[in-house]
Structure 1
């Protein structure tokens, strides 16, 4: 079975209000890329992936006038994808939903959120992801309220062979210091955002621990916007959110080989899943942001990971059409897990 996670930059901009593709020459959300070019590039990437399930981060918008599931299924139909059904959980207000595109012949997913429903006052522990968690973020003996701008997608999944497992799709909040007017503002907002992201990681980790304690197998996948050694704030707080979710330092481990390698060899060359253009510096920044983590019970199922990076993966580089499609389709690249389920 092939399971992937893929952050598609501004997928929502490729659809009209009737959830149909806008295959024209107007600009997409990607700089210098038309909607038609991005759509065709995405179609080629998805068809080449031929995955049983793809967790799509930044999926099309869901709201009063938009339907993310319909949009994704229309996209799948346009390219005759085997994974042609879609499912999502709690909608958000960012125009970047989290949704699973899947092959119904290979697996059956069900939105199955867990945790206590919390009101405006929030709840301690690990409440349902569309609520609020109470936690002291800054050691001032006062609890703060933490919310997900993009509530993780929790799925109960059954494969065609009858194997059951839990799947969680996540997109943690970016740490960019939006609204800063001075260097002091940048520092203050960055630290506050970092605290919030770590709190979200703790929330996710608590849910994973509850699932593992109940004997469930778990796959956590998505864009965690963080990684070991990614920025200077890790020194301030001690651990990255990726390390928290993996269970580094205690508890049942979640495993991703690319994250593991970065932890073990911080000075060595690292894998990357995203490539961003830094215009003011005239260069590109590569980063390891996207992960597919599995629990210990799945490590015996012959898992193999691969990042479809057009410059780092030889097969992707050798296929010129795929290489170009990956560069046009998004600023992130698919992370693929092949596993015997």
Structure 2
């Protein structure tokens, strides 16, 4: 079975008010990329992935006038994907949903949010003392994680969690002091979300559920100077320790090589510095029972993955489709 996660930059802008693809020559929300260019690049990438299920981060909007499931299934039909059924959980107001595209011939999937004394449902709030000042801070998810119950046609049951954690970028900052204040506040919120996710994982894995956490965590070890203020990255928190620890080889490599080369899953243009920044932001973390099955991970990086590099059409499609690259996991279940 192949599971994947893919952050598709502003996929929402590729659909009209009837949740059908524009697929025309007008500009997409990606710089200097038309809607047709991005749509057709995405078709090539999803076809190459050929995954049984893809956690789509920044999926099309779900609101009174828009339907994420309808839009994704329209895209799957256009692209000729066997992962042609979509499911969404708690929608948000960012026009960037979390949804799963999956093959209904391979698995049954349902949104199944759980409650636990240490981890409320992801559409609720989480109280935590972030400052160690004896005052509880109330945290909410701007993009509630998608919690799914999955059963394969062979009867194997999995828990999937799709996540898109709070960005640390200081949007709206006008000077150095504001950059520092907003960056620290955003990191505090992100770490609180990570602790909330970790509590849910502890409960699931502790109860014996094979668990996979997929998505864009907007974080990794050593990505910014504010990490030292809090001791750990949110990735380290979510991975956890002990018998309920999750595993992702790219996260482990990054943690062991803070000063060396690490894998990357995203590429952003830094306008003031006139250069690209590459970062490891996208992960597929698995519980110990799944890690014991010797799965294989792959980052579909157009320049770093030899197979992607050797196929010019796929290489160009990966660059055009999004500022993130897919991550896949192949596992025998």
Are 1:158 and 2:151 counterparts? Answer: yes
2:244 paired residue number: 252
**Are 2:201 and 2:244, in contact at CA under 8 Å, matched by a contact in 1?**
no
Residues 79-126 of structure 1, C-alpha deviations (whole Å, 9 max, x = no match): 11110000010000000000000000111111000116xxxxxxx731
Secondary structure at the residue paired with 1:197?
helix
Structure 2 counterpart of 1:72: 72
Q: Which residue of 1 aligns with 2:135?
A: 142
Task: Provide the C-alpha distance between the structure 1 equivalents of 2:72 and 2:287, rounded to a whole number of angstroms.
Answer: 29
Q: How does 1:172-191 map to 2 (within 5 A)?
A: 172-191=165-184
Q: Does 1:296 align with 2:288?
A: yes
1:130 to 112, 120, 123: 123
Q: TM-score, normalised to structure 2's length?
A: 0.98
What TM-score, normalized to structure 1? 0.96
2:102 equivalent in structure 1: 102
Corresponding position of 1:198: 191
Q: What does residue 119 of structure 1 align with?
A: none
Instruction: Note the alpha carbon deviations across 1:161-202, whole angstroms, 9 max, x for none.
Output: 110010000000101112323211111111111111000000
Q: In structure 2, what is the Cα distance between the partners aligned to 1:300 and 1:174?
A: 32
Flag structure 2 segments of 5+ consecutive residues without an equivalent: none
Deviation at 1:251, TM superposition (A): 5.3
1:281 is displaced (CA, Å) by: 1.5
| Structure 1 unmatched ranges of 5 or more | 117-123
- Within 5 Å, give how 1:1-341 maps onto structure 2: 1-115=1-115, 125-248=118-241, 250=242, 252-341=244-333
Please give the alpha-carbon distance, in whole angstroms, between the structure 2 residues aligned to 1:156 and 1:11: 25
Partner Cα separation in structure 1 for residue 220 and residue 307 of structure 2: 26
Partners of 1:60 and 1:81 lie apart in 2 by: 17
String of CA shifts for 1:50-91, please: whole Å, max 9, x gaps.
Answer: 110000000000000000000000000011111000001000
Aligned equivalents of 2:6 and 2:251: distance in 1?
A: 17
Alpha-carbon deviation of 1:280? 2.0
Distance 1:251 1:224 in 2: 22
Task: Determine helix, strand or coil for the equivalent of 1:69.
Answer: helix
- Provide the C-alpha distance between the structure 1 equivalents of 2:285 and 2:148, rounded to a whole number of angstroms: 15
Report which stretch shifted further, 135-144 or 210-219: 135-144
CA distance in 2, matches of 1:328, 1:179: 27
RMSD over aligned Cα atoms: 1.0
Q: Give per-residue Cα distances to partners, 1:201-223, cap 9 Å, x unaligned.
A: 00000000000111111000000
| Count of aligned positions | 333
User: What's the offset of the Cα at 1:233?
Assistant: 1.2
* SS of residue matched to 1:254: coil
